[in-house]
């Protein structure tokens, strides 16, 4: 079945550092890929998405490229801020007659001033 | 711009008690979902409703029931609460349509503790 594997956290970075959170997937067919972000005490929010191979999703300075050859969708940001501290979830949208989403276990990011 | 609204936000129950978690969305979405979030386990799907009038089991349905009351509302019921059901519960919706490109929209969660 479909699965998503993302790097374990927590990840601690200094402000303005470069961020990479790795995500790889296993899926049949042609899934869509998503990154969601969860701030403390809140639900998940869509951060970005990509729907086909070589697509790049971007939002708020974050980027991720859908790499079919390596089955990866790594999240990157060039310069993180304290306000980026949150839990990040990689997710896969597969086929199943409804909008089935498989989530990774989440990576907690802490940015220190 | 309410989006997905969940009630209550916090609840403490005793083992064996029952309760219903409420969820409503105002985005005219067809599909709705209930997840539970536990440390180190990400989100696990409990039940979903692909459209009004239909419900189906997800990954961890045991101990729960759901009702899709209308297009807007999807409730989750614990008939006899157990400590293992202590978790944070999220409702989500998506649409229109059921395509794999549709992101899900989440409520802020219900934090449930069972003693």
- Is the pLDDT score of A79 beyond 80? yes
Phi, then psi, of B48 in degrees rounded to 5: -140, 165
Residue B102 and residue A93 in contact, taking contact as beta carbons nearer than 8 Å: yes
Question: Chain B closest CA to A11's CA: distance in Å?
Answer: 15
Q: What average pLDDT does this structure show over A69-89? A: 96
Whether residues A93 and B100 touch (CB distance < 8 A) is answered with yes
Residue B113: what are its φ and ψ, rounded to 5°?
Answer: -120, 135
Tell me whether residues B108 and A42 touch, CB distance under 8 A. Answer: yes
Q: Can you give the pLDDT at residue A93?
A: 87
Q: Are strands A44-50 and A32-38 parallel, antiparallel or unpaired?
A: antiparallel
Would you give the DSSP letter of residue B63? T
Query: Across residues A46-65, what is the average pLDDT?
Result: 95
Instruction: Write the CB contacts of B44 (distance below 8 Å, at least 6 apart in sequence).
Output: B35, B36, B37, B38, B58, B59, B60
Measured CA to CA, the distance from residue B94 to residue B91 in angstroms comes to 11
Inter-chain touch A43–B106, beta carbons under 8 Å: yes
Q: Model confidence over A11-53: pLDDT tens digits?
A: 999 999 999 999 999 988 788 999 999 998 899 999 999 988 9
pLDDT band at residue A99 using 50, 70 and 90 as cut-offs: low
In the DSSP assignment, the letter for residue A73 is -
Per-residue pLDDT band at B103 (split at 50, 70, 90): confident
Share of chain A above pLDDT 90, in %: 76
Q: Enumerate the β-bridge partners of residue B4.
A: B25
Where are any strands of DSSP class E within B15-60? 19-25, 31-37, 43-49, 56-57
């Amino acid at each position: 079945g479909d699965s998503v594997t993302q790097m374990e956290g927590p990840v601690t970075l200094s402000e303005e550092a470069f961020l990479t959170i790795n995500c790889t997937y296993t899926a049949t067919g042609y899934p869509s890929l998503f990154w969601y972000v969860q701030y403390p005490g809140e639900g998940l929010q869509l951060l970005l998405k990509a729907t086909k191979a070589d697509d790049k999703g971007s939002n708020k300075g974050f980027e991720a490229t859908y790499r079919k050859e390596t089955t990866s969708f790594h999240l990157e940001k060039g310069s993180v801020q304290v306000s980026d501290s949150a839990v990040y979830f990689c997710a896969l949208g597969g086929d199943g007659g409804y909008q089935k989403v498989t989530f990774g276990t989440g990576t907690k990011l802490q940015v220190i001033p | 711009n309410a989006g997905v609204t969940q009630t209550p936000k916090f609840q403490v129950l005793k083992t064996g008690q029952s309760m219903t978690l409420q969820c409503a969305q105002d985005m005219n979405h067809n599909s709705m979902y209930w997840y539970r979030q536990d440390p180190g386990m990400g989100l696990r799907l409990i039940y979903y409703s692909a459209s009004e009038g239909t419900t189906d089991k997800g990954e961890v349905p045991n101990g729960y029931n759901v009702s899709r009351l209308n297009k807007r509302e999807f409730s989750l019921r614990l008939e006899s609460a157990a400590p293992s059901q202590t978790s944070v519960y999220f409702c989500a919706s998506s649409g229109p349509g059921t395509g794999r490109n549709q992101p899900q929209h989440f409520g802020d969660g219900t934090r449930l503790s069972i003693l």
